[in-house]
Amino acid sequence: MSTRNLFRAVNLEIRHLTRRWEGETTRFEAVCECDDASCALAISVDRALFDAAADQPGHYVVAAAHRPRDGERIVRRDSEAVVVERRPEPVTT
């Protein structure tokens, strides 16, 4: 599993737990979903922004401080987070 997919799984869990404990909040603390394995930035993410990204294959929530990498383009922008669209990675088996 790639780092970004791992962090996506973590974020979905955080999202789920936040809703359970605090009710439906507007923001929650997520982990940056960039593909830098050494990055684990905590970013405050708008819940609707995250949900929209989670529904779209290839969309990832990363820290706004990052620059888009090759093959990525910014589709939405928030105060601390941006949603990048990444072309599907070739499947290597």
* CB 68 to Zn ion: min, Å: 12
Q: Which of 14, 30, 34, 61 binds Zn ion (CB under 5 A)?
A: 34
Structure tokens at 22: 């605090």
Q: How far apart are the first and last CA of the chain?
A: 12
- Choose the binding region for Zn ion from 6-14, 19-27, 38-46, 50-58 (rule: CB under 5 A): 38-46
CA distance 42 to 87: 24
Q: Identify the DSSP state of 38.
A: T
Q: Which of 39, 52, 54, 74 binds Zn ion (CB under 5 A)?
A: 39
Residues of the shown chain interacting with Zn ion in the complex, contacts defined by CB under 5 A: 32, 34, 39
